[in-house]
Amino acid sequence: KVYVERKGPVLAIHTRAAPQLLARATQLVEQALTQLPPGYRVIAGNAGVELMPLEAVKGAAIRRFMEIQPFAGRRPVFLGDDTSDENGFEAINEANGISIRVKPRGPTVASYALDDVTEAIAWIEANFGAARVS
């Protein structure tokens, strides 16, 4: 089954339960793109595809965060596990931050890679301490 989710200005089509439909979903979203005003793009993921405004892509959001307090002047860290995170890795690399791809399947622009979520949690705890649960 295919699940369609509206996340504010973003339309996501999840095909995890029907991976054979990813190519068709991507094709339909690319066709829909031609009917939208300029400023939208298609972001392909591991198990779906998204149609979003350019200002909503992760790299643009990261750049905006890095201009405001308390983020300005700090070194950004970004972990991601999807091809749609590549734009975020690019922004982090431009800011001399730490970009980490979790479960890489193919090429990535991230500076580091971790095999799974367990490794990601261990890395976060080793570098920032264990999370406090209230």
Do 72 and 123 fall within a single domain? Answer: yes
Residues 6+ apart with CB under 8 A from 38: none
> Is 133 within a domain?
no
Residues 39 and 101 in one domain: no
63 in the same domain as 124: yes
- Please report which confidence band the pLDDT of residue 134 belongs to, taking 50, 70 and 90 as the band edges: low
In this structure, the answer to whether residues 31 and 86 fall within a common structural domain is no
Answer yes or no: do 48 and 21 share one domain.
yes
Domain extent for 77: 58-128
35 occurs within a structural domain: yes
Claim to verify: residue 64 and residue 123 sit in the same structural domain:
yes
Q: Is residue 45 part of a domain?
A: yes
Give the chain's domain count. 2
Choose among 105, 93, 3, 104: nearest CA to 50. Answer: 3
Note if the bond before 37 is cis, omega within 30 degrees: no
63 and 122 in a common domain: yes
Residue 132 has pLDDT above 80, yes or no: no
pLDDT mean across residues, the chain: 89
pLDDT mean over 66-92:
93
Q: What average pLDDT does this structure show over 70-96?
A: 93
Assess whether 116 and 81 both reside in one domain.
Answer: yes
Shared-domain flag, residues 63 and 95: yes
Q: Is the dihedral of CA 97, 113, 133, 7 positive or negative?
A: positive
**Position 23 in a domain:** yes
Are residue 50 and residue 83 in the same domain, yes or no?
Answer: no
- pLDDT-above-70 percentage for the chain: 97
Could you tell me if 106 and 83 lie in one domain? yes
Are residue 116 and residue 78 in the same domain, yes or no? yes
Task: Give the full edge-to-edge strand order of the sheet including 48-53.
Answer: 3-7, 10-14, 48-53, 40-44
